[in-house]
Structure 1
């Protein structure tokens, strides 16, 4: 009858203390006792990724075998399974169970290790490796296709070099800043044309060139009744306070000069409120869905502003409304068209560009794209000149003016 034995678990062991099970890739070792086996561990014990790295070296009279538990040559089964080795103590008849890890031992031939390392260090793409195989073992058809593709690649490289040389010549002749300025101005002109209000060039009278219904539909104009009445009820003291604060000067100017009673007063007050919303929106960057609620803006007007003068962007998975540069140009064009209807087809560009927060040159570009005529009151002979005498006016004059695109180019100074 066979003697019974008991199992003894040695508990949790570290990776460095695990038993080692080796497997030789090129066959079996007949005399394992004659192998000189050495274990090398990584000296960086603080790094959790490196402290478990081990290299096992087994040397014989003829070959040297190397195995490691990291890198491409290691066995992936160590990460997928747990291996255990039982060691039987014949005196106590107890079998100790130890955790183990497997090593794949590969022979290292003298003189070829450095050449293999050099071959692995070369940075060749997959295409280059395939081309090398075609050159060595490919058929005649594959070799002809490879030669044709390389000739086409040479022609493409020559074309890219010619284009780069031509581009550098243009940059040297005109200058990089001048080219960048031309691109910016061309893009700005295209943006202005695409964001102008609807225009009827063949209109019989000036009021129909930029139709009022295209700026405010009858439903939207009717929704502004309550908000317009609040604007009409502003006292002279409140208007003076707004004027002193420097906000919405265009709105204050028309509220001060609007008719006392009648339909004209009602229209001016409603347009003044809508214009104040346009001016406020022009100074925003990110617009919330609650824009205009604190000012008593009707819901239909609020939706119109967000839909017409903002763009939707995604930020952290949320949709946001943003006023882009092109949308600021669109706001300037629509505000100018509204001011023309409020001022008998004449608008003050100086006040408008200040309220919009844009430059005067940008405002003039918008007015030119709309075909307006410019005028500036003559300066008085006296030394004291009022502020409004310096303001530039824009008017609708039939037929509309077609301005030639003019790009100012600064002359480059010659180096002596």
Structure 2
């Protein structure tokens, strides 16, 4: 046979590229028995639409459809060029023609006619896989598909039942009453994390005892870290304010440390622990063994981890989390420390800003502590036109009231 030569002929005689087909669901057993039908766009004037083609082939079991346009078209047609060579063995001449790749997919829906693939293309990948499992899947795959669909139906039934039950409760009780119940539950949740309250005390300092906030051993451990605050000069306080190393409440109170050494040391210890509590409240997930640094005494670190964090499980490991309820507990202890520091009256707005809380949240906690709330203009560290909320612990303690609008139950005689 003579040496083969080739000649590029472009498109076929019908002025269109040759079709190369690939079946998406496997290999055909007898491809020579297939017959293909080509549908071309009638809009021959449009530069893009005139090249659109749909290729259809039908076997005894399935109908296959492929096309060269739309969302499901193969991107290789726009990135590569394909050619088909026809070799004449006698002359050794090879004719080379342009070619185009078609991805033939089974048309599984009974409602579609050949060429109408819109509904099939709109289906999700999961739905297409389910259709393939129905047609070609094993018995085990079909049982799993049936079980999954039954579970989906069961979930829909449960969701519908829950929605209906919630609607019935809202209709029967009313949105206002439900909101009042939620508010009452929130107050009860906050109360569960408060220090012991001695309602029969005859002096404000005995209502919430200092020993319930800091034990004598913990108080003694604060002597060393609080020494720097007790000995702070005016220049040191100015530098701390520039560095923002402490919260606003502590920086302001450092300006008014008592001259008496014992009282000065006591206030410095309280301020140091209050500042540590506020910094600890800004954490979320505790990943370090000593989150407050090496200068924090071990007994204080253990107190923070044990009393002001919740245990949570993540990826098989135990983590300490400062949850919303724990932050409410920290806020309550911060308010009580501030009361002991300031003769049982403190500016709640400053503490609110330091702890990055909403005003309604800190007021709810203050009310749960049985404080009297009053207003004041201006104040330490705030603008003059900003209203302050002051919290005062005084005797007799205010009576805890139910949320506004909640009706009292009538006694049945």
- TM-score (norm. length: structure 2): 0.55
Q: Structure 1's 196 and 124: CA in aligned 2 closer, same or farther, altered over 3 A? A: same
Counterpart in the other structure of 2:212: 214
8 Å Cα contact 1:242/1:248 also seen in 2: no
Shift in Å, 1:252: 1.3
State the distance in 1 between where 2:313 and 2:146 align: 40
Listed as ranges, the matches of 1:61-100 within 5 Å are none
**In the alignment, is residue 375 of structure 1 matched against residue 364 of structure 2?**
no
State the Cα distance separating 1:249 from its structure 2 match.
1.2
Q: Indicate whether 1:205 and 2:206 are aligned.
A: no
* Deviates further, 250-259 or 272-281: 250-259
Supply the distance in 1 between the matched residues of 2:238 and 2:178 (Cα, whole angstroms).
45
Report the alpha carbon displacement of residue 245 of structure 1 after superposing the two structures with TM: 6.0
Mapped partners of 1:297, 1:124: distance in 2: 60
Q: CA RMSD in A?
A: 3.7
**Equivalent-residue separation in structure 2 for 1:245 and 1:174 (angstroms):** 54
Structure 1 unmatched ranges of 5 or more: 1-41, 52-116, 126-156, 410-416
Q: Deviations over 1:286-328 (max 9, x none)?
A: 1233345536110000000110000111212222110001011
Counterpart contact for 2:280–2:292, Cα < 8 Å: no
1:334 Cα deviation from its structure 2 partner: 0.7
Q: Determine which structure has more spread, i.e. the larger CA radius of gyration.
A: 1
State whether residues 210 and 337 of structure 1, in contact with CA within 8 Å, keep that contact through their aligned partners in structure 2. yes
Are the counterparts in 2 of residues 284 and 323 from structure 1 also a CA contact under 8 Å? yes
Question: How much has 1:175 moved relative to structure 2?
Answer: 6.5
1:282 alignment partner in structure 2:
281
| Structure 1: distance between partners of 2:405 and 2:294 | 43
How much has 1:229 moved relative to structure 2?
Answer: 0.3
- Helix, strand or coil: the match of 1:227? coil
Query: Please, which of 386, 390, 395 is the counterpart of residue 393 of structure 1?
Result: 390
Indicate conservation of the 8 Å contact 2:378/2:384, yes or no. Answer: no
Query: Is 287-296 or 256-265 further displaced after alignment?
Result: 287-296
Shift, 1:197, TM fit: 1.1
Distance change (3 Å), C-alpha of 1:165 and 1:250 = same
1:267 aligned partner = 266
Q: Is the 8 A contact 2:310 2:322 kept in 1?
A: yes
In 1, the alpha carbon distance for the partners of 2:383 and 2:25 equals 81
SS state at 1:272 partner: helix
State how 1:13-412 maps to structure 2 within 5 Å: 44-45=25-26, 167-172=166-171, 181-182=179-180, 184-243=182-241, 247-294=246-293, 296-377=295-376, 387=384, 390-407=387-404
Distance 2:378 2:303 in 1: 41
* Structure 2: segments with no counterpart, 5+ residues: 1-22, 30-138, 148-156, 407-413
